[in-house]
Amino acid sequence: MEHPYSDIAFQQAAADLCRYGKIMYDRNWSPATSSNYSIRLNDACCALTSSGKHKGELSAADILVVDWQGQPLSAGKPSAETGLHTQLYRRDTNIGAVLHTHSPSAVLLSQIWPSNLLILQGWELQKALTGESTHLNAVRIPIFDNTQDIEQLASDVEQHMQQHGQGHAYLIRGHGIYTWGSDIHTCFRHLEALDHLLQYELQRRQLGLATTTE
């Protein structure tokens, strides 16, 4: 098979995905083989976790390479949600990594949230998101209904981004979170910040306090 990517880049990406995979599994964000993580290799393909792997025990053999059509360029079975990763890489060459987890804060908050838009405002930790410089900004996190039709969902996400901007992340109701960044370290920082921000909103609701919504 032709190798349209560098082996060195793949080995580095695989090592990073395994390392962060262990961290995310240990945080309880990726239970029961759920979640998927990817890193851009070049302008045509990314390294992505294979379907159904234990995320706390990943090795390089559990990482495959797919192109922007989701076609495997190396051995392994792509995740069912590959299309949600490639949609992001296709639309923005500055995106270098995408992380999707089933963290309890994202799953629970998206399930109980009364609208399709969560607005984060007034939290200092918003500044962990690239480009955000003040807690005063409104960070808009859209919520999409869960579906097994990933092609349709990817199309809905793309349409939403064209209308409302790319933003930093989105939630899938009762399912989890997607976020992205210029590289895996930045992307993980976004994920970690968002987990805290979602927990703040979750606890605010539990306390019966008003939340920002539309």
Query: Contact positions toward Zn ion, by CB under 5 A?
Result: 176
Q: What is the DSSP string of 98-132?
A: EEEE--HHHHHHHHH-SSSEEEE-S-GGGGGSTT-
Minimum CB distance to Zn ion smaller for 36 or for 126? 36
To Zn ion, the closest distance from the beta carbon of 47 in angstroms equals: 18
Strand, helix or coil for residue 40: strand
Minimum CB distance to Zn ion smaller for 83 or for 176? 176
Minimum CB distance to Zn ion smaller for 142 or for 176? 176
To Zn ion, the closest distance from the beta carbon of 81 in angstroms equals: 5
Rounded CA-CA distance 87/180 in Å is 12
Minimum CB distance to Zn ion smaller for 35 or for 126? 35
To Zn ion, the closest distance from the beta carbon of 130 in angstroms equals: 23
116 neighbors 143 (Cβ within 8 angstroms): yes
Helices 150-164, 82-91: inter-axial angle, 10-degree rounding: 30
To Zn ion, the closest distance from the beta carbon of 34 in angstroms equals: 5
Rounded CA-CA distance 92/15 in Å is 24
To Zn ion, the closest distance from the beta carbon of 150 in angstroms equals: 10
**Residue sitting closest to Zn ion (CB):** 176
Residue 94, judged by CB atoms within 10 A of its CB (0-12, 13-18, 19+), counts as exposed
Kindly list the distances between the CA atom of residue 100 and the CA atoms of 97, 170, 192, 213, 214, in Å, as whole numbers in the listed order: 10, 10, 12, 23, 25
Half-sphere exposure of 15 (CA within 13 A, CB side): 6
Rounded CA-CA distance 142/208 in Å is 22
Structure tokens at 84: 């949600």
To Zn ion, the closest distance from the beta carbon of 162 in angstroms equals: 23
Minimum CB distance to Zn ion smaller for 21 or for 176? 176
Minimum CB distance to Zn ion smaller for 78 or for 176? 176
